[in-house]
Amino acid sequence: MTSPAEASITLPTVPLLGVAIGGPAGAALLWLGASFIGTWGETGLWPGLAAIGIAAAVSLGILVALRPWKPRRILVWGGLLIAASTGRIVATLGFCLLLYSAALQPAAPLLFGAVAGLLPVLAGETIVASRRFRLDAS
């Protein structure tokens, strides 16, 4: 009999796709609403939305590269998810840095937009994966 850590499982692809697209989409709606209240006004609206879009594109790309439909052991999934989260953060901030330096966009909306787009993805992916791990362990 194999232990739960040695069992090969797949991750639920559709919920992960929903998190990768829906999290930044919700952040973009909140960003639109907050831009009318905040002090950045028009100058912060588009850079923030661009950063959220970058976060969504990077999240989707990393999810496809991760191939959640491929069976792997739970311990392997743990390492891959940590690496994917780290890569998602580094790539998103790197692309936002390129946008800042090449297009001379304001830094604060880019940074806050990137964080606003990343946080729901990181939290949602953790919730989806932990539910799958918990189901397999029982």
Each residue's pLDDT expressed in tens, for the chain with a length of 138 residues? 466 667 789 999 999 999 999 999 999 999 988 877 766 667 788 999 999 999 999 999 999 999 999 999 988 999 999 999 999 999 999 999 999 998 888 888 899 999 999 999 999 999 999 999 887 655
Q: Is residue 38 part of a domain?
A: yes
What DSSP state is assigned to residue 4? G
Counted domains in the chain: 1
Structural domain includes residue 2: no
Please report whether residue 42 resides in a domain.
Answer: yes
Backbone angles phi, psi at 103, to 5 degrees: -105, 0
Using CA atoms, how far residue 133 sits from 33, 92, 119, 129, in Å, is 36, 27, 21, 6
Look-up: residue for tokens 């609206």? 45
Which residue type does 46 have? W
Note whether residue 91 is domain-resident: yes
Q: Look at residue 23 and tell me if it is in a domain.
A: yes
Residue 3 has a pLDDT of 67
- The CA distance from 15 to 11, in Å, is 9
Residue 108 belongs to domain spanning: 11-137
* Greatest Cα-to-Cα distance within the chain, rounded to the nearest angstrom: 61
**Which pLDDT score is estimated for 34?**
82
